[in-house]
């Protein structure tokens, strides 16, 4: 896997991931903008409306027909919250030209042009988006927002983040808020789209058995030529100054049969290298089946149906997540806190460290097993402005010592304990 990048205009960058592993090309366009309370709902709605039609493919049916004629190409789009940014994402996957029977076709060029068309040349009527599309997508977004309690584990995780980052961008729900949907009309959304297009960070990724001719195809595209240079308006996810807040406990009642515990931990890191140590710390704490959370809380104490943790490197938080019997809440909390204390006191073995490293390195080595994970890896580096090869990444993990992990363990504090339980009769 070879990686190259080129800034074709200020704030607009092309990324090539050259690999012979796949028979397909995956093309992705990411529009990155700061997430704000004012615009979060517009971002989600805009992403949904853009997929409905472009100037030259004005209906979803026509887009589908065009894709079908491209040997069954796949198109998808969506929105992600990454750090303090909102990312509008657009993907198209097509067969590589080497595997097409008619050699006079240029599927790479066609697929790039289609994706650029959908993203940068939307269906617009008299300076506004199609009214019917807007109405339908408002209903779809409304259903998503109303349905966020359906997945109780995800809901508990989102609520913990919301409480930890109250009145901050990262605390916002990525699909926005129902009360804002009604205020958005088709002209307002189209004006907002033009503003986003003029200011956002634009990254175009192409993964597959390709060469630098892909850059020429993009540079010569009329939709790209129309774009102006920009001082891209987005947040670089760098190490941020953290001040530890007082530990708080939030208990919420809902009609649930299983309690959901989410504990948000703050890490006060000083530099990017400490993030690699935090990865190993998290793997030992709750990131694998050999972890303390899994073994001590779930297996030995039988207090949890599920028990683990994840490291959110963009915000330097670790989240412990457990599904428990509601009556076991206090006991589970006691044992979880003991695991945190044990980590601070170095109560873990070299075998624990080796298993954690092995798991992380296995994941790193699998980055190029799928095209979208490769794109995600390099885009993540773009957002922290810190480029590192897979080999360097593995070396950094291998170099971590027990002393490093204990040091990080002692920089960790509980920020928020969130417990979702059933309503008391």
**Strand partners for 250:** 418
Q: Cα separations (Å) of 318 from 29, 268, 274, 408? A: 29, 11, 14, 12
**H helices of 202-328, where?**
213-219, 222-225, 273-282, 292
Phi, psi (degrees; rounded to nearest 5) at 284: -70, -40
From its phi and psi, is residue 208 left (phi > 0), alpha (psi between -120 and 50) or beta?
A: left
Element (H, E) at 254: strand 248-254
Closest alpha carbon to 137 in 67, 209, 45: 45
Closest alpha carbon to 287 in 352, 344, 351, 347: 352
**H helices of 262-328, where?**
273-282, 292
Distance between CA 384 and CA 202 in Å, rounded? 15
pLDDT in tens, the chain (425 residues): 899 999 999 999 999 999 999 999 999 999 999 999 999 999 999 999 999 999 999 999 999 999 999 999 999 999 999 999 999 999 999 999 999 887 678 999 999 999 999 999 999 999 999 999 999 999 999 999 999 999 999 999 999 999 999 999 999 999 999 999 999 999 999 999 999 999 999 999 999 999 999 999 999 999 999 999 999 999 987 777 777 788 999 999 999 999 999 999 999 998 889 999 999 999 999 999 899 999 999 889 888 899 999 999 999 999 999 999 999 999 999 999 999 999 999 999 999 999 999 999 999 999 999 999 999 999 999 998 889 999 999 999 999 999 999 999 999 999 999 999 998 74
Distance between CA 35 and CA 169 in Å, rounded? 6
Please give the angle made by the CA atoms of 159, 162 and 168, to the nearest 5 degrees.
175
Closest alpha carbon to 284 in 376, 401, 384, 189: 401
Q: In this structure, are residues 48 and 140 in contact, taking their beta carbons and an 8 Å threshold?
A: yes
DSSP type of residue 101: S
For the chain, the residue count is: 425
Q: What is the pTM of this model?
A: 0.95
């Amino acid at each position: 896997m070879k990686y190259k990048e080129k800034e074709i205009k200020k704030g607009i960058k092309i990324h090539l991931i050259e690999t012979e592993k796949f028979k397909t090309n995956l093309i992705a366009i990411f529009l990155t903008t700061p997430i704000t309370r004012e615009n979060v709902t517009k971002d989600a709605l805009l992403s949904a409306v853009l997929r409905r039609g472009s100037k030259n493919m004005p209906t979803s049916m026509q887009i589908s027909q065009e894709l079908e004629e491209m040997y069954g190409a796949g198109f998808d789009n969506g929105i992600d919250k990454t750090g303090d940014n909102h990312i509008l994402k657009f993907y198209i996957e097509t067969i590589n030209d080497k595997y097409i029977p008619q050699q006079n076709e240029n599927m790479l060029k066609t697929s790039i042009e289609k994706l650029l068309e959908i993203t940068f040349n939307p269906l617009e009527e008299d300076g506004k988006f199609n009214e019917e599309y807007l109405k339908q997508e408002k209903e779809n977004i409304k259903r998503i927002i109303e349905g966020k309690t359906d997945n109780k584990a995800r809901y508990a995780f989102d609520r913990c983040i919301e409480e930890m980052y109250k009145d901050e961008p990262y605390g916002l729900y990525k699909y926005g808020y129902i009360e804002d949907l009604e205020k958005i009309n088709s002209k307002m959304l189209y004006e907002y789209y033009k503003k986003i297009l003029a200011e956002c960070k634009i990254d175009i990724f192409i993964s597959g058995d390709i060469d630098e001719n892909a850059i020429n195809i993009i540079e010569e595209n009329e939709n790209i030529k129309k774009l102006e240079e920009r001082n891209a308006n987005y947040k670089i996810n760098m190490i941020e100054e953290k001040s530890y807040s007082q530990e708080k406990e939030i208990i919420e009642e809902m009609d649930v049969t299983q309690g959901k515990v989410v504990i948000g931990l703050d890490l006060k890191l000083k530099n990017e290298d400490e993030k690699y140590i935090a990865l190993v710390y998290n793997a030992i704490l709750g990131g694998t089946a050999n972890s303390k959370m899994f073994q001590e809380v779930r297996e030995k104490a039988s207090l949890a149906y599920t028990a683990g943790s994840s490291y959110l490197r963009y915000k330097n938080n670790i989240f412990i997540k457990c599904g428990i019997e509601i009556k076991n809440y206090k006991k589970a909390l006691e044992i979880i806190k003991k695991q945190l204390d044990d980590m601070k006191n170095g109560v873990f073995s070299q075998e624990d460290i080796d298993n954690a490293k092995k798991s992380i390195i296995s994941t790193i080595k699998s980055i190029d097993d799928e095209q979208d994970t490769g794109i995600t890896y390099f885009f993540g580096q773009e957002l922290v402005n810190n480029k590192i090869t897979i080999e360097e990444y593995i070396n950094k993990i291998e170099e971590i010592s027990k002393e490093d992990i204990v040091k990080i363990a002692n920089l960790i504090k509980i920020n928020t304990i969130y417990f979702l339980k059933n309503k008391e009769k």
